[in-house]
Structure 1
Amino acid sequence: MREIPRSARPRQAAGSPLAGRVAVVTGAARGVGAALARRLSDAGMLVALIGREEATLRKAADSLPGPSLCVETDVTDRDALDRATREISKTLGQAGVVVANAGIAVGGPFVHTPADLWQRVIDVNLTGSANTARAFLPQLTCTRGYFLQIASTAAFGSSPLMSAYCASKAGVESFALALRGEVEPDGVGVGIAYLHWTGTDMITGVDDHPVLQALRRNQPPFARKVHSTAEVSAWLTAGITRRARHIYAPPWLRWCQPLRPAFPALVSRLARQELRRQPPSRLAVTTGVLGAGGQADLDAHLTAPHPSPPEHP
């Protein structure tokens, strides 16, 4: 854990209702997480950045205009998260906003995806979000704070060759909806953010992914646009400021909610058409973790010591 002290507040903080409060962002080393950490710092928040890549995480923290804390933590490690909550509370104060953003993705046919790799996506995206909520809910209850779950339009309609990612994003949506009903009586708000095509390294090779390429090709022109992390973080920050129950990035996604019952059949039809055109050899080549952030998580996970299974007499 590395504290990054700051002595001055950004000018934008003056009229912000977020000013002076503590924000925690997981998956903050790069992409949406790093961009959101900067937006929240610009709004006058004290920001704790949680992630796997210490050097990249530290660089993101160094760029913030306000007080911050850099915490290298695996969201699948409950003990590490508990230590992080104590350090954040001691150094910055109790969290008023927590954003469960950490996530990775794997592309490729289910049968060609190693079971451990498939499970890792579920562990980070779904279980990691639940671990984050469990660790910080005591603080959020004290501050009557706000928990934001980052989901995706992958929850609207599952895409073949992305089974783990789609399952995890549908799962986090369901988890957040259930959690909302439990914690609202305690004054804790729960929001769900739906992200569409966002310019992170996770989609760098999207046009090499046959099904995702087909889905994009069949979307209206405005829906194919890839939005920058700066745009997405601005939408997220606006939603956090008003404690929104749902945040859509881009905003036009809100009009898709009534149409969701039709999406699974539509996505399935387009996917079947595309899969018939592809030789099995090409589909197998697409298998693997997507993006530098996902690869960094996988590398760290594979090299980390794991407890030995208990011995049985």
Structure 2
Amino acid sequence: MAFLTRNTVRNKVVLITGAARGIGAALAERLAADGAKVALVGLEATEQQEVADRIGPAARAWEADVTSWEALEQAVSGVVEHFGGIDIVVANAGIATTGFVRSVDPVAFEKVIEVDLLGVWRTFRVTLPHVIQRKGYLLAISSLAAITHVPGMANYAAAKAGVEAFCNSLRAEVAHLGVKVGVAHPTWIRTDLVDSADAHPVFGRLRMGMPGLIGRTYPLSVAIDCLEAGIRRRARTVHVPRWVGGLKLIRAFLPPIIELGARSRVPAADRAAVADIAARGAREAAVTGHGGRAATR
């Protein structure tokens, strides 16, 4: 019976950040269908409420910016008051920008690190007392970008690599308290964020020109299947899909390989990026996706 309890989400309270669309919204719907009670926390209040309405009584939405201590504390207090506690936290909120370090908009660049890395730390710090109380599970959404550091995504790669390192340290800190910590590494998943990046006049070409599996985009359902399975087993790592885990075994060799491939493509892209900024402005040229626009508004 204990084994079954650990491997079910039925009647568990799951808090998911960035739940207005994409992975967050789809995961909330999947877990609610499995019997979980889902708390949706994020910036896009209207869209998030629509997700909660689709799910029904098992879901409720709270508007909060994961970079704001006060907003997170208010939201978490509301979740605990409404549902009685928190068993599982999925730190999914994340944004991305496009741009080379020498020319990208500084505000947009730094906002990615604030949301994608510091947002995970703040989310876990605020929710951790409640998760400890129920000997629950924390899952942070990192990325393939934590393993493969490609040009034009320096801030995103740094933030997602930081998330992996943060979770590895945290896992050892809270194991004696009965809390498990996981980190997920999705590759390119068909979401608003990826679609928006692919539509970028400069960096879309770089992204879609990535060779083999590293450049392939997978349906949202692939990510949700993997994440659901990971949450059920309280996994320390979730690779989306499984081949992403294999790259970790050779990650020391990846930077020079990526640099070699970039030699023929980056110079022209660098010139095009500067021209795009001159035409549209640095902020407009950098921000991608609805979530990114909401976060940098």
Q: State if a TM-score over 0.5 links the two structures.
A: yes
CA distance in 1 between counterparts of 2:11 and 2:77 reads: 19
How do 1:138-177 residues align onto structure 2 when only pairs under 5 Å count? 138-177=129-168
Is the CA contact 2:99–2:273 (under 8 Å) kept in the aligned structure 1? no
Deviation at 1:73, TM superposition (A): 0.2
Deviation at 1:273, TM superposition (A): 2.2
Amino acid at match of 1:100: A
How do 1:128-277 residues align onto structure 2 when only pairs under 5 Å count? 128-204=119-195, 205-206=197-198, 208=200, 210=202, 213-214=205-206, 216-220=208-212, 222-277=213-268
Root-mean-square deviation (CA, aligned residues, Å) is 2.1
How do 1:25-174 residues align onto structure 2 when only pairs under 5 Å count? 25-174=16-165
- Describe the SS at the equivalent of 2:263: helix
TM-score, with structure 2 as normaliser: 0.90
Deviation at 1:259, TM superposition (A): 1.3
- Describe the SS at the equivalent of 1:24: strand
- Describe the SS at the equivalent of 1:268: helix
Distance 1:247 1:279, change over 3 A: closer
- Describe the SS at the equivalent of 1:278: helix
Is the CA contact 2:22–2:220 (under 8 Å) kept in the aligned structure 1? yes
CA distance in 1 between counterparts of 2:207 and 2:249 reads: 20
**Divergent runs of 4+, >6 A:** none
Deviation at 1:278, TM superposition (A): 3.4
Is the CA contact 1:24–1:97 (under 8 Å) kept in the aligned structure 2? yes
Deviation at 1:62, TM superposition (A): 0.9
1:225-247: CA deviation from partner (whole Å, max 9, x where unpaired):
32222221121011000001100
Amino acid at match of 2:68: D
Is the CA contact 1:160–1:211 (under 8 Å) kept in the aligned structure 2? no
Deviates more, 1:207-216 or 1:141-150: 207-216
Amino acid at match of 1:97: I
- Describe the SS at the equivalent of 1:49: strand
Q: Which residue of 1 aligns with 2:291?
A: 293
Deviates more, 1:83-92 or 1:19-28: 83-92
CA distance in 2 between counterparts of 1:213 and 1:38 reads: 33
1:23-45: CA deviation from partner (whole Å, max 9, x where unpaired):
00000001111011111111111
Deviation at 1:268, TM superposition (A): 1.9
CA distance in 2 between counterparts of 1:51 and 1:266 reads: 37
Is the CA contact 1:194–1:249 (under 8 Å) kept in the aligned structure 2? yes
Unaligned segments of structure 2, at least 5 residues: 1-5, 278-284
CA distance in 1 between counterparts of 2:270 and 2:234 reads: 47
Is the CA contact 2:67–2:115 (under 8 Å) kept in the aligned structure 1? yes
Deviation at 1:65, TM superposition (A): 4.7
Counting aligned pairs with the same residue, the percent is 34
CA distance in 2 between counterparts of 1:254 and 1:184 reads: 23
CA distance in 1 between counterparts of 2:204 and 2:121 reads: 28
Is the CA contact 2:16–2:41 (under 8 Å) kept in the aligned structure 1? yes
- Describe the SS at the equivalent of 2:55: coil
- Describe the SS at the equivalent of 2:264: helix
- Describe the SS at the equivalent of 2:142: strand
Distance 1:212 1:183, change over 3 A: farther
Deviation at 1:66, TM superposition (A): 4.9
1:125-181: CA deviation from partner (whole Å, max 9, x where unpaired):
111100000000001100100000100011112122111111111111111111111
